[in-house]
Amino acid sequence: MRRGRRLAAGVGLAALALAACGKKAPPVAPEMRAPQTITDLTAAVRESAIELTWSPPGRRMDRTRLRDLELTRIFRVEDAGTGEPRSAMLVDGMVRGYAEIATIRAADPAPAVAQGARILYTDRRDLAYGRRYTYVLVAGDSHGRIGPPSPRVSVTYVAAAEAPGDVVAEAGEREVRLRWRAPARLLDGGAAPETLTYEVLRAPSPDAAATPLTRTPPGQLALTDRNVENDHTYYYAIRALRVEGATTVYSAASPRVAATPRDVTPPSSPTTLAAIPSEGAVRLSWGASPESDVAGYVIYRATESGAFERIGTTRAPATTFLDRGVTRGTYRYAVTAEDTAARPNESRRSNEVRVTVP
């Protein structure tokens, strides 16, 4: 009996061991659990600093979702700009030969700032004109696992131009005409080159961020924005761009100016105005103006030798009007069309008719 019990117990343990082995997943190498490489690092010189932007990784090296991103470490190396920048090799969580200049925490990115899905960091640390700065980023999770270095990004720190001046915005119909003065100097005191290009920024309201709209060809100091709607106010600023080799240097933006495009085209005049007098009244009718934005018509009346006065209106599509309560005498009539603009445009007068009320 005892022997049978021992045999059954042994069989059960073997079965459990086999079942456990069947459920166990193959081990994952620690480096495959590290965050993926940051692939979209960019760098640009803006005014007196170098701005870095990137998107935090959302997955690990094994392509599983990364839910515990802890930090991003920023490394920098400086050189004279000759030859290839120093290679980026990760050793014990550091990039060999590079200096760590910042650690950005995912929970609180200060001194970096979040801009939608991207992070912006501004480097002002010991920058010298004419030097090349190369940046590499690595991301780490809450377990201390560090992902591979990002691709290197290099910029040469050169002086930006002063902000463009005397910006003028003139509104037209569905357009805003912009012009500005080129900056004379660079921030290091040197003369600004004539080959500067300009970036036009636009915002839909005074407190909204201004975003890039377009760039001009080198040296162009005017631009017309036709991607606008009438009766909406737009806010513009201009900044100068200096290009040196592979580096683009952005000036500060000019002060904002505002412009409100307006519909200034009046409708066509009504046609074939006719009048039928009767005792104490005159009935008018006319041909409609063909434009689709006609809001209504304005009726004018004058005595035989007097000036025209506005006596009434109709809403489109009505093209008749009854002038009541007129006394005996001779009268002249004319009609105009008005459109739907915020500041309505009025057409020229129709043909004039003369009637005598009995």
Residues 145 and 117 in one domain: yes
Structural domain includes residue 12? no
Cβ(350)–Cβ(269) below 8 Å = yes
Residue 226, judged by CB atoms within 10 A of its CB (0-12, 13-18, 19+), counts as exposed
Q: Tens-of-pLDDT digits for all 358 residues of the chain? A: 444 444 444 434 344 344 444 455 555 566 789 999 999 999 999 999 999 999 999 999 999 999 999 999 999 999 999 999 999 999 998 999 999 999 999 999 999 999 999 999 999 999 999 999 999 999 999 999 999 999 999 999 999 999 999 999 999 999 999 999 999 999 999 999 999 999 999 999 999 999 999 999 999 999 999 999 999 999 999 999 999 888 899 999 999 999 999 998 999 999 999 999 999 999 999 999 999 999 999 999 999 889 999 999 999 999 999 999 899 999 999 999 999 988 899 999 999 999 999 9
Domain count, the chain: 3
Helix-then-strand count for the chain, H and E: 1, 25
Structural domain includes residue 276? yes
Q: How confident is the model at residue 28, as a pLDDT? A: 58
Residues 227 and 284 in one domain: no
Q: How confident is the model at residue 154, as a pLDDT? A: 96
Tens digits of residue pLDDT in 328-352: 999 999 999 999 988 899 999 999 9
Place of tokens 């004539």: 194
Q: Residue 300: which domain range?
A: 271-357
Distance CA 258, CA 119 (A): 30
Structural domain includes residue 11? no
Cβ(76)–Cβ(99) below 8 Å = yes
Q: 111, 130, 156: which is the final residue of a domain?
A: 156
Distance CA 222, CA 72 (A): 42
Structural domain includes residue 9? no
User: Which letter, b or e, does each residue of 47-74 get, where b requires 16 or more Cβ atoms within 10 Å of its Cβ?
Assistant: bebbbbebebbeebbeeeebeebbbbbb
Residues 302 and 284 in one domain: yes
Residues 147 and 177 in one domain: no
Residues 37 and 118 in one domain: yes
Residues 200 and 233 in one domain: yes
Q: How confident is the model at residue 246, as a pLDDT? A: 83
Q: How confident is the model at residue 30, as a pLDDT? A: 63
Residue 17 phi, psi (nearest 5): -65, -40
Residues 220 and 298 in one domain: no
Q: How confident is the model at residue 245, as a pLDDT? A: 85
Distance CA 233, CA 344 (A): 17
Structural domain includes residue 264? no
Amino acid at 111: P
Q: What's 58's domain CATH number? A: 2.60.40.10
The tokens describing 83, both together, are 């030859």
Alpha-carbon distance values, 167 to 133, 163, 188 (Å) = 34, 10, 23
Residues 310 and 232 in one domain: no
Q: How confident is the model at residue 26, as a pLDDT? A: 56
Residues 78 and 177 in one domain: no
Alpha-carbon distance values, 28 to 58, 204, 256 (Å) = 19, 51, 56
Residues 114 and 191 in one domain: no
**What percent of the chain is predicted at pLDDT more than 70?**
91
Q: How confident is the model at residue 342, as a pLDDT? A: 85
Q: 259, 282, 306: which is the final residue of a domain?
A: 259
Residues 45 and 142 in one domain: yes
Residues 254 and 277 in one domain: no
Distance CA 304, CA 204 (A): 52
Residue 108 phi, psi (nearest 5): -145, 95
> Of the candidates 340, 298, 345, which has an alpha carbon nearest to the alpha carbon of residue 319?
298
Q: How confident is the model at residue 27, as a pLDDT? A: 58
Q: How confident is the model at residue 16, as a pLDDT? A: 39
Distance CA 109, CA 112 (A): 5
Structural domain includes residue 189? yes
Structural domain includes residue 277? yes
Structural domain includes residue 6? no
Distance CA 151, CA 218 (A): 31
